[in-house]
C-alpha cells in the first residue's frame, strides 16, 4: 500500500482509508476480520463519525480491534461531528461534547483527526476555534479538517483557527466529477462550465489540504453503485477493459482512477466485503495511463470541450 503525506499534519498514512459507517451492524467477529484484512493490506487510516450507527460503529470498531495502547499506535483514527437530527451544529458546546463521546466509544485518549461534518451556515468561527484549541491543548485531538466545504468556508474558518485544516472530505468518483468538470470547461457555454464549488480542487491543492473522496463507487447521492449497473453500460465496459489490461478487478480500477489524479487524494471506501477490500487495495499497485484515465472519464458520459 502506497502512503500519502499530510503536510500540515506532519504524518504519513495509507492512501486508501476504510470508512466505518457500516461497521455498526456487523458482528464482532466479522468486524475483527474486516479490520485485520485492511491492516494486512496496508490500510491504517480509519474514518468514523459520531452519527454512524448512532455511535455504534465506533463502539464495534474499538471492541473488534481490542483497543489498547499497543493497538492504538498502529492506527490513524479520524472521526467527524456536527450533524444532529434535522440540523447541523458547530457550536463549541456540541463539538466538545461530541468528541468526549467519540473518545469514549473508541476507547482512546485522542483522535488523530477531527472533521466538521458538512457545513453549518450558523457556524461562528471564533467558537469553533475555541473548541479546536481546547481539544488540541488537552491532547484530545491532534489535527483538524472539514467535509464538503468550499474555499470561502475554509478561508473564513481559517481566519480564526490556530491549527491548519489538513483534510476535506468531498464526493468524487468516475460518475461524480463536478470537482473537475468546470476546470475542464473554462470559458465554455455548456452546463459543465458552471463552477458549483468555488474551485475547491485547486484551493485544496494550493493549500496542501488532502481531499478524501467519499462514496467512490456510488453515483448520484447514494443512488447505488455504478459498477455493474445497467445505467452505465459504456462505463462498465471501459472499466472491464481496463481491468483486463492492468490485471486487476473493476473495483480496483474505480479506485485507481481517483488515485491517478495528481492531487494525491485519499479515497474513503466503505465496503465490508473482505474480497472487495483485497481487490480494491490492488489499485495502489497500478498507475492508469493518461489515455485510459480520460477514456474512463468520457465513458461515464462526460464530454471534453
Residue 53 lies in a domain: yes
Would residue 222 count as lying in a domain? yes
CATH number of domain containing 14 = 3.20.20.100
Does the residue 102 lie in any domain?
Answer: yes
Which residues are tagged catalytic?
Answer: 52
171 belongs to a structural domain: yes
94 contacts: CB under 8 Å, gap ≥ 6? 81, 82, 84
Residue 252 lies in a domain: no
Nearest to 96 by CA among 58, 138, 62: 138
Please say whether the beta carbons of 267 and 213 come within 8 A: yes
- Are the beta carbons of 92 and 122 closer than 8 angstroms? no
**The predicted structure's pLDDT at residue 220:** 84
Q: Which stretches within the chain are classed as H helix?
A: 28-40, 56-65, 69-72, 92-106, 125-137, 151-158, 178-184, 200-206, 233-246, 250-259, 274-281, 290-299
Cα gap 125→133, rounded to integer Å: 12
293: in domain: no
Burial class from Cβ neighbours inside 10 Å (0-12, 13-18, 19+) for residue 303 reads exposed
β-bridge pairing 268-269 and 17-19: parallel
Report CA-CA distances (Å) from 250 to 145, 270, 281.
31, 16, 12
In 3D, which of 35, 212, 36, 10 has the Cα closest to residue 112?
10
Answer yes or no: is 83 within a domain. yes
The answer as to whether 70 is a domain residue is yes
The Cα 267–Cα 213 span in angstroms is 5
SS3 12: strand
Q: Is the pTM of this model over 0.85?
A: yes
- Can you tell me the distance from the alpha carbon of 199 to that of 222, in angstroms, rounded to the nearest whole number? 23
Encode the chain (305 residues) as per-residue pLDDT tens digits.
999 999 999 999 999 999 999 999 999 999 999 999 999 999 999 999 999 999 999 999 999 999 999 999 999 999 999 999 999 999 999 999 999 999 999 999 999 999 999 999 999 999 999 999 999 999 999 999 999 999 999 999 999 999 999 999 999 999 999 999 999 999 999 999 999 999 999 999 999 999 999 999 999 887 899 999 999 999 999 999 999 999 999 999 999 999 999 999 999 999 999 999 999 999 999 999 999 999 999 999 999 99
The tally of domains found in the chain comes to 1
What is the extent of the structural domain holding 56? Answer: 3-232+269-278
Amino acid at each position: 500500500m502506497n502512503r500519502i503525506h499530510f503536510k500540515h499534519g506532519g504524518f504519513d498514512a495509507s492512501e486508501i482509508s476504510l470508512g466505518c459507517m457500516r461497521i455498526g451492524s456487523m458482528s464482532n467477529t466479522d468486524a475483527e476480520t474486516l479490520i485485520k484484512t485492511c491492516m494486512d493490506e496496508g490500510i491504517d487510516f480509519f474514518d468514523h463519525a459520531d452519527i454512524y450507527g448512532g455511535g455504534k460503529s465506533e463502539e464495534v470498531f474499538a471492541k473488534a480491534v481490542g483497543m489498547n495502547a499497543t493497538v492504538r499506535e498502529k492506527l490513524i483514527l479520524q472521526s467527524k461531528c456536527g450533524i444532529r437530527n434535522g440540523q447541523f451544529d458547530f457550536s463549541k458546546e456540541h463539538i466538545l461534547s461530541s468528541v468526549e463521546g467519540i473518545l469514549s466509544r473508541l476507547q482512546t485518549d485522542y483522535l488523530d483527526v477531527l472533521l466538521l461534518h458538512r457545513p453549518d451556515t450558523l457556524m461562528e468561527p471564533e467558537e469553533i476555534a475555541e473548541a479546536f484549541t481546547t481539544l488540541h491543548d488537552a491532547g484530545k485531538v491532534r489535527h483538524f479538517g472539514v467535509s464538503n466545504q468550499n474555499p470561502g468556508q475554509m478561508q473564513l474558518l481559517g481566519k480564526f483557527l490556530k491549527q491548519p485544516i489538513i483534510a476535506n472530505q468531498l464526493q468524487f468518483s468516475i460518475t461524480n466529477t463536478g470537482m473537475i468538470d468546470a476546470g475542464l470547461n473554462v470559458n465554455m457555454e455548456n452546463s459543465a462550465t458552471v463552477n458549483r464549488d468555488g474551485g475547491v480542487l485547486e484551493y485544496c491543492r494550493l493549500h496542501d489540504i488532502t481531499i478524501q473522496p467519499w462514496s467512490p463507487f456510488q453515483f448520484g447521492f447514494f443512488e447505488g453503485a455504478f459498477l455493474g449497473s445497467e445505467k452505465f453500460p459504456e462505463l462498465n465496459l471501459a472499466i472491464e477493459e481496463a481491468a483486463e489490461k492492468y490485471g486487476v478487478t473493476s473495483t480496483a480500477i474505480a479506485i485507481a482512477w481517483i488515485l491517478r489524479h495528481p492531487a494525491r487524494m485519499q479515497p474513503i471506501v466503505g465496503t465490508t466485503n473482505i474480497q472487495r477490500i483485497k481487490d480494491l487495495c490492488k489499485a495502489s499497485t497500478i498507475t492508469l495511463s493518461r489515455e485510459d484515465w480520460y477514456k474512463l472519464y468520457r465513458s461515464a458520459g462526460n464530454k471534453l470541450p
